[in-house]
Chain A
Amino acid sequence: MTTIASREPGTRGQWWRFAALLVITLIVLVPVFATLLLAIRPSASSSASGVLTLENFRYIFTSTDVIVWLGNSLGVTLATVVVSVVVAAPAGYVLSRGRSKAVAGFSLLLFVIQSLPVITAIIPLFVLFARIGLADNLIGLVIVYVGSTMSVATWMMAAYFDSIPHALEEAAWVDGCSVFGSFAKIVLRNSLPGILSTAIFAFLLAWNDYLVALVFLRSSVIFTLPIGLQTFFQQNATDWGSVMAVSVVMLLPPAIIFAVLNKYFSIGGIGGSLAGR
């Protein structure tokens, strides 16, 4: 044993660290395992037999409004993603290429905005939107989400545009291309990674939001999933099977994006860290 240890000094420590990490990971993931497991276990009240079942999913999709809420969540989230990117990309370009005092001021404005508590904006916006019929309304929700993504999304796009050589554009300008033309045809076309990260950031913000939806949405037909999920909790008899099945539905889209676009997910999720660039 000692001979092996002396020949490969790192090996034993390596397995100790592995064991420690394994225990830590298992403990950390208990809530995740619990969610997945309860979702596929038969409910206490259900007639389904066996150890594993999709009964909970069948129930939530056929007997509750979950399918409607899922549709609402998907619609709101996709709209937020598209509008955020379309608005933030040009603004990010200005932040990246502009060099006046005004641009520096804009940059500071975005930084301050980003650190503002959502709650402060939410209350006046609720009053304003209630007056024009946008309070209990999914379009109103999208507008608020897009507004909340703006500072970080603009920053992320600017950070990516910074990495695109100016020389490319300058060459195009010499050939008579306009500033907008060079932005659209050269900068934007080469910015897919930046756009993806920004889109994922907007996706996570809209998909995971609880506070804005809680304040704005009143009628159950336009609930998004996070609000809908809360209706499953009852004082003493929460049907955990259904709750966890809805949770899994809610968890899947971010999990899939994380699995497929891991790198961009990290950048998108970290979003705000670009604030210090």
Chain B
Amino acid sequence: MTPTLTAPSTTATTASASTPPAGKGVSRRTITLILLVAPCLVLVVLINAYPLVVAASQSIHNGTLIVTGDFVGFSNYLDVLTSPRFWTAARFTLIFTIVGVFGSWLTGMGLALLLRTKIPCRGVFKVLLMLPWVVPIVVSSTAWNWLVSTPTSPLPTLTAKLGFGEVHFLANPTLAAITVCVFKVWVSFPFMMLMTSAALAAVDTTVYEAAGIDGASRWQQFVHITLPLISRSTYISWILMTIFCVNDFPTIYLLTAGGPVDATSSLVVLAYRTVFQDQQTGPGVAIAFLMTLVLVIVSTALYRQIRKVDIA
């Protein structure tokens, strides 16, 4: 018997209706399921969970990449937490994340709303605006470097011609931080555009007709109808973008390598540089581990929150 399936139903059914095969015990089914999940579980434990344990151990030793070193208790953490570099990096990570999440969300949502209206060549725009996200970061950072890195690059030349003087986009600490954040928004807004578009497509348009009859303005309709209706998707996209931003390495490193003078060093970049450039494994891992702890707490809390939204 070959079952034919025309179109899989799009509504996700909750896993509750399955019954074990007739004539075979529940245990047989359980064993099969365990065997099916085993390779994945082994990989997750080996590549993700085990290193976490080792990292915890590394962070309380004063070793290098080669030797374990002596047990030093929490002194690595104390060193890290009292070092100004750590707090500079924490501050930049916070700014980078907030700008990354809300900058890309506002841009992406604005474009999604614009693309929802009647516009010639809408499909072409939709595809073209996805490109920053399709292009690998390694490639786009190269292009951005060409645009801004040296005083003779096109953008500084342009600002000079426009009378703003020579602008050192990556040499001035403040400007470098702004440039990195703008680059992150440039890379991420298509993701937000896609998420918002998908959510908007599911909104029932008859709601607006009713609101229009009731005399609600465009802005009122947006704030009181559209935003609440897509809130779950918005919420999820914020969470994901927060995780993407905090964990982001290449976007920052490929543009500025964390400089000038740590101005664009996020926690990930600082951890990388501490371990692989300053050869201080203990403190470097301690930085990574502090970041991990915060992310685990935040993501577990958010996971519960999404489940709650699901039930509501």
Q: Determine which of A28, A130, A144 lies in contact with B47 in the assembled complex, contact meaning CB atoms within 8 Å.
A: A144
Rounded to whole angstroms, the CA-CA distance of A109 and B194 in the bound complex is 27
Interface check A90, CB cutoff 8 A: yes
* A227, closest chain B residue (CB): B138
Closest chain-A Cβ to B285's Cβ sits at a distance in Å of: 6
Rounded to whole angstroms, the CA-CA distance of A121 and B299 in the bound complex is 17
Rounded to whole angstroms, the CA-CA distance of A269 and B192 in the bound complex is 12
Closest chain-A Cβ to B83's Cβ sits at a distance in Å of: 18
Interchain CB contact under 8 A, B146 and A166: no
Provide the residues of chain B in CB contact with A210, threshold 8 Å.
Answer: 137-138, 249-250, 253-254
Interface check A139, CB cutoff 8 A: no
Residues 110-146 of chain B, each 1 if its beta carbon lies under 8 Å from chain A, else 0: 0100110111110001011111111111111011111
Say whether, besides A115-B295, A162-B12, A130 and B37 are in contact (CB < 8 Å).
Answer: no
Q: Determine which of B50, B142, B154, B271 lies in contact with A119 in the assembled complex, contact meaning CB atoms within 8 Å.
A: B271
Interface check A55, CB cutoff 8 A: no
Closest chain-A Cβ to B98's Cβ sits at a distance in Å of: 18
Interface check A137, CB cutoff 8 A: no
Say whether, besides A24-B111, A116-B292, A163-B8, A251 and B37 are in contact (CB < 8 Å).
Answer: no
Provide the residues of chain B in CB contact with A208, threshold 8 Å.
Answer: 136-138
Q: How large is the interface on B (under 10, 10 to 19, 20 to 34, 35 or more residues)?
A: 35 or more
Provide the residues of chain A in CB contact with B232, threshold 8 Å.
Answer: 276
Interface check B272, CB cutoff 8 A: yes
Interchain CB contact under 8 A, B249 and A112: no
* A180, closest chain B residue (CB): B32
Interchain CB contact under 8 A, B40 and A154: yes
Say whether, besides A94-B36, A240-B146, A251-B139, A21 and B125 are in contact (CB < 8 Å).
Answer: yes
Interchain CB contact under 8 A, A28 and B65: no
Interchain CB contact under 8 A, A254 and B136: yes
Interchain CB contact under 8 A, A162 and B249: no
A150-200 contacts to B (CB < 8 Å):
150-151, 154, 159-160, 162-180, 182-183, 186, 190
Interface check A93, CB cutoff 8 A: yes
Provide the residues of chain A in CB contact with B303, threshold 8 Å.
Answer: 108, 111-112
Interchain CB contact under 8 A, B135 and A21: no
Interface check B206, CB cutoff 8 A: no
* A87, closest chain B residue (CB): B39
Say whether, besides A117-B268, A123-B281, A176-B21, A34 and B254 are in contact (CB < 8 Å).
Answer: no
Interface check A125, CB cutoff 8 A: yes
Provide the residues of chain A in CB contact with B48, threshold 8 Å.
Answer: 113, 116, 121, 147-148, 150-151
Rounded to whole angstroms, the CA-CA distance of A265 and B240 in the bound complex is 18
Chain A CB within 10 A, most for which of B142, B243, B250, B281: B142
Interface check B161, CB cutoff 8 A: no
Interchain CB contact under 8 A, A258 and B130: yes
Q: Determine which of A21, A121, A163, A190 lies in contact with B114 in the assembled complex, contact meaning CB atoms within 8 Å.
A: A21
Interchain CB contact under 8 A, A173 and B5: no
Segment touching B, from A45-53, A57-65, A95-103: A95-103
Interchain CB contact under 8 A, A162 and B16: no
Q: Determine which of B3, B35, B49, B134 lies in contact with A255 in the assembled complex, contact meaning CB atoms within 8 Å.
A: B134
Say whether, besides A177-B21, A210-B137, A143 and B65 are in contact (CB < 8 Å).
Answer: no
Closest chain-A Cβ to B17's Cβ sits at a distance in Å of: 5
* B65, closest chain A residue (CB): A127
Provide the residues of chain A in CB contact with B300, threshold 8 Å.
Answer: 108, 111-112
Interface check B237, CB cutoff 8 A: yes
Interchain CB contact under 8 A, A106 and B54: no
Interchain CB contact under 8 A, B51 and A125: yes
A124-B51, A243-B146 known; 9 other A-B pairs, CB under 8 Å?
A29-B131, A127-B65, A130-B65, A148-B48, A165-B8, A166-B18, A173-B19, A183-B36, A272-B244
- 14 residue pairs A–B, Cβ–Cβ below 8 Å: A10-B118, A25-B125, A28-B132, A32-B135, A88-B40, A98-B37, A119-B272, A130-B65, A150-B44, A150-B47, A163-B10, A179-B29, A244-B143, A276-B232
- Residue ranges of A at the interface with B (Cβ–Cβ < 8 Å): 10, 14-15, 17-18, 20-21, 24-25, 28-32, 34-35, 38, 87-88, 90-91, 93-99, 106, 108-128, 130, 143-144, 146-148, 150-151, 154, 159-160, 162-180, 182-183, 186, 190, 207-208, 210-211, 215, 225-226, 229, 233, 240, 243-244, 247, 250-251, 254-255, 258, 262, 265-266, 269-270, 272-273, 275-277
